[in-house]
């Protein structure tokens, strides 16, 4: 695939395959390959839709698990709390208590991160700031070969410069080459990366996060905030936003962080379980990235099968409670859309 142009026949074919392979709950089609630390996955055959016995590569994946990456912090100090047990947690879906089926601390679990950089004309004076932001984050995060990152940009076009890799040299080289031009397709870029990369069958069961570096001024996207939040939640992608709005050519520009665009960035991050950072100087940027790195190493995985087993396409609210720890703050994605499960072929599962 030409890494600088995604809208080609192969990309469209991959898009069709990836949409067909997963529903709202990311569960691997080949469960025997899951590492022991992953939660047990359930499969069930849908009545009236039997598996095609003439096709040995067809695999039924009527997924039932909802997987939540959960961050817990001390309300007073903001420090991450990493010593909780499954019995400390309660899960509610649409205010109905759910049974927790799996619970795991994620500090040592492999992580796939997508780094998206705004390279539109509006950020031209800040491009060096953005490049420093991206490189700083990758140097902080990719400390183990089991972790991977991809790097993409968005302006009038959406371009993948480096696919998932654990080689910082390749990622840094890709970042150094980008230039600012055109308008801003931020929401389209987030949606496309979630759809084509984070929903890929090869990432089923893995941890996924996205860092978006932008000034937050989307100008020509066809997708909207609601659609982007929905696909990020469906692909189990935690979105973190680094806003460079206050970063000027020589430092800080005047202004506040309460614009409409800022509020949308905050909502995008919070509804997917992440955070939004508004930075003005490199030292603040480094602190923001360090916070993201610590957070991703301090989370819990909580999985449950919804009592409401209907795939009715409706949005369901999710809430995590710690009834015996009133001094702690919990953050996870706010919900998901109950879309029907799909059937995956063996060939698609290996993509």
Say whether pLDDT at 97 is over 80: yes
More confident position, 270 or 250: 270
Closest to 86 in 3D by CA, of 250, 350, 309, 302: 302
Say whether pLDDT at 279 is over 90: no
Instruction: Using a pLDDT cut of 70, give the percent of the chain over it.
Output: 74
pLDDT at residue 129 in the model: 79
User: Could you tell me the pLDDT band of residue 33, with boundaries at 50, 70 and 90?
Assistant: very low
- How many H helices and E strands in the chain? 8, 16
Q: E strands along the chain, which residues?
A: 58-61, 66-74, 90-93, 96-98, 100-105, 111-118, 148-154, 158-165, 207-214, 237-243, 276-278, 300-304, 315-321, 328-331, 335-337, 342-345
State whether the Cα torsion 233-231-228-131 is positive or negative. Answer: positive
More confident position, 222 or 289: 222
Say whether pLDDT at 339 is over 90: no
Say whether pLDDT at 149 is over 50: yes
User: Could you tell me the pLDDT band of residue 288, with boundaries at 50, 70 and 90?
Assistant: confident
In this structure, of 34-43, 45-54, 119-128, 333-342, the range with the lowest mean pLDDT score is: 45-54
pLDDT at residue 105 in the model: 86
What is the tens place of the pLDDT at every residue in 222-269?
Answer: 999 999 999 999 999 999 998 877 654 434 344 455 688 899 999 999
pLDDT at residue 295 in the model: 92
Query: What does the pLDDT average to over 135-160?
Result: 89
Say whether pLDDT at 18 is over 80: no
CB-based contact 86:283 (threshold 8 Å): no
Closest to 274 in 3D by CA, of 225, 204, 331, 320: 331
pLDDT at residue 273 in the model: 96
Say whether pLDDT at 348 is over 70: no
Say whether pLDDT at 340 is over 80: no
Question: Best-predicted range by mean pLDDT among 131-145, 148-162, 234-248?
Answer: 148-162
User: Could you tell me the pLDDT band of residue 1, with boundaries at 50, 70 and 90?
Assistant: very low
User: Could you tell me the pLDDT band of residue 62, with boundaries at 50, 70 and 90?
Assistant: very low
Summary mean pLDDT of the chain: 79
Those residues whose C-beta lies under 8 Å from the C-beta of residue 337, and which sit 6 or more positions away, are 24, 230, 233, 234, 313, 314, 315, 316
> Which residues lie across from 301 on neighbouring strands?
69, 104
What is the tens place of the pLDDT at every residue in 173-199?
Answer: 999 999 999 999 999 999 999 999 999
83: tokens are 């010593």
CB-based contact 70:89 (threshold 8 Å): yes
Backbone angles phi, psi at 334, to 5 degrees: -85, -10
Over the Cα atoms of the chain, what is R_g? 20
Say whether pLDDT at 205 is over 60: yes
More confident position, 31 or 320: 320
CA distance 157 to 138: 23
State whether the Cα torsion 111-282-270-322 is positive or negative. Answer: positive
More confident position, 338 or 341: 338
């Amino acid at each position: 695939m030409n890494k600088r142009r995604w809208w080609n026949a192969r990309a469209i074919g991959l898009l069709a395959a990836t949409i067909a392979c997963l529903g709202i709950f990311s569960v691997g089609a080949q469960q025997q390959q899951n590492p022991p630390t992953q939660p047990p996955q359930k499969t069930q055959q849908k009545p009236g839709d039997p598996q095609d016995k003439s096709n040995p590569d067809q695999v039924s994946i009527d997924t039932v698990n909802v997987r939540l990456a959960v961050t817990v912090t001390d309300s007073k100090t903001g420090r991450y709390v990493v010593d909780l047990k499954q019995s400390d947690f309660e899960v509610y879906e649409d205010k109905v208590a759910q049974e927790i089926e799996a619970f795991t601390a994620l500090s040592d679990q492999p992580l796939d991160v997508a780094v998206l950089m705004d390279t539109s004309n509006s950020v031209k004076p800040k491009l060096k700031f953005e490049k420093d932001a991206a490189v700083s984050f990758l140097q902080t995060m990719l400390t183990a070969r089991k972790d991977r990152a991809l790097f993409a940009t968005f302006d009038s076009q959406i371009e993948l410069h480096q696919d998932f890799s654990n080689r910082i040299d390749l990622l840094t080289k890709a970042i150094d080459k980008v230039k600012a031009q055109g308008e801003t397709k931020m929401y389209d870029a987030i949606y496309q990366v979630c759809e084509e990369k984070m929903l890929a069958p090869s990432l089923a069961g893995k941890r996924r996060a996205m860092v978006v570096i932008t000034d937050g001024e989307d100008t020509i996207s066809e997708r909207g905030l609601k659609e982007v939040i929905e696909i990020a939640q469906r692909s189990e992608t935690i979105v973190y936003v680094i806003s460079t709005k206050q970063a000027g050519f020589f430092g800080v520009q005047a202004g506040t962080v309460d614009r409409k665009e800022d509020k949308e960035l905050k909502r995008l991050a919070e509804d997917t379980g992440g955070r939004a950072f508004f930075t003005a100087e490199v030292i603040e940027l480094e602190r923001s990235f360090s916070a993201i790195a610590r957070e991703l190493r301090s989370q819990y995985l909580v999985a449950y099968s919804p009592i409401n087993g209907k795939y009715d396409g409706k949005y369901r609210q999710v809430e995590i409670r710690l009834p015996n720890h009133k001094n702690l703050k919990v953050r996870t994605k706010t919900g998901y859309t109950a879309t029907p499960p799909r059937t995956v072929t063996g060939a698609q599962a290996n993509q």
